[in-house]
Amino acid sequence: MKRIFNLRLEEFLALLFFIPSLLITIKANLYFIEAGMNIPRRYYGGLTRLAVTLALMIAFYYFVKYRPLWKYTWWLREVMPFLFCIAIYTNMHDTIGFVNPHDVHDTLIRIE
């Protein structure tokens, strides 16, 4: 059976985790826009970061599927999943406060 989209597991997981990151970031930005509030500084760049990540994912899929200049671009398959994960993590880090505004940092310090 052919693998889904010819992607390896780590590539597929990056795509899978990209979806909730995208949805949460859009929801957070829309919330502040619809409420007539300024978008907090913490959320700046989230949509741009995700747009760039999405464009890179589409280009990456093209390279994986059609392998143009594969002699020179084979290393993309090793590097890009890591870069996707960094972009997704950064975005989730920035927007997690929107999903759960209660900071647990003080609680964790008390537990220690």
- Tens digit of pLDDT for each residue in 53-85? 889 888 888 888 887 777 777 888 888 889 888
Alpha carbon distance 28, 43 (integer Å)? 8
What's phi and psi for 39, nearest 5 deg? -70, 125
Question: What pLDDT sits at residue 4?
Answer: 57
Question: What pLDDT sits at residue 49?
Answer: 85
Alpha carbon distance 42, 31 (integer Å)? 14
In tens, the pLDDT along 15-52 reads: 888 888 888 888 888 888 898 888 877 777 788 888 88
Question: What pLDDT sits at residue 5?
Answer: 62
Task: Tell me the one-letter amino acid at 105.
Answer: H
Tokens 């300024």, located at residue:
38
Residue 18 · residue 57 · CB < 8 Å:
yes
Confidence of residue 1 (pLDDT cuts 50, 70, 90): very low
Helix (H) or strand (E) holding 60: helix 46-66
Residue 5 · residue 65 · CB < 8 Å:
yes
